Amino acid sequence: PFEDIIEGRQIAEGTEEGHVRFLGTTIRDEKVDVALGSIRLMSANGKEENVHIFGQNNYDEMTGLYNKQAIHRYAERVFAQQPDHPVHLVIFDLDNFKNVNDTYGHLAGDEALRTVGGIIRDALGSNGVAGRFGGDEIMMVIEKADTLMALRAILRSIRTNVEHAYHNTGKFYEITCSIGVATLGVAGNTFEEVFNVADKMLYGAKMKGKNRYIITPFIFAFILASKNKCENK
């Protein structure tokens, strides 16, 4: 058994970002160590509050990302707070994914989704969260990209690594992705408004030849953020 205190984002209903305590045990077999346990929310004074079990009901088994309900809930909560820093909603889609499933079978498609899930987790790091929104569509909320260069670095890493994952590997197919990005305060002020614009940006990326990302005008996000900071002082 083990116990540790970590700090990070929480997806369970009714919680906020803060300190949590992880209680659990490690089960060992010949191939892998599996940690099982629960996460308990800690208040500012260190007292234990409500208990939330973070099980498979919050995660997508195929990609290892959050599932549709969890990422949707998280995005709505962030947008409702109307933060004064740029928040970007990203819609990701694998190009010609249906052809991979139809031609090479669902096992090939499942393998691609697992690979892509790992690529997205590595590229995002602590800068945002991601969840599988359905099929091969993934939604991301990026909050810690305060410059256009930082945002592009994340998107470029995802696009490039997805493209290279199956390039010259001996597979009979190659996989690429298209990405649409919209920013809170630029594309709209609600989750629905920003999602619709991000979806249009994704459609534009598909129409322009796929294997690319398209971002809504970015500079206005910083004008808005600066204005909000001044007003809140």
Q: Are the C-beta atoms of residues 209 and 173 closer than 8 Å to each other?
A: no
Q: Are 66 and 60 a contacting pair, CB within 8 Å?
A: yes
Among the listed residues 161, 68, 71, 176, the one whose alpha carbon sits nearest the alpha carbon of residue 123: 161
- Which residue in the list 60, 93, 95, 136 is annotated as catalytic? 136
Note if 4 is an active site residue: no
DSSP type of residue 22: E
Q: How far apart are CA 10 and CA 13, in angstroms?
A: 9
Across the beta sheet with 33-42, what order do the strands follow? 2-8, 18-28, 33-42, 48-52
Answer whether 40's CB lies under 8 Å from 51's CB.
Answer: yes
Closest to 88 (Cα-Cα) out of 132, 130, 60:
130
Report the catalytic residues.
136
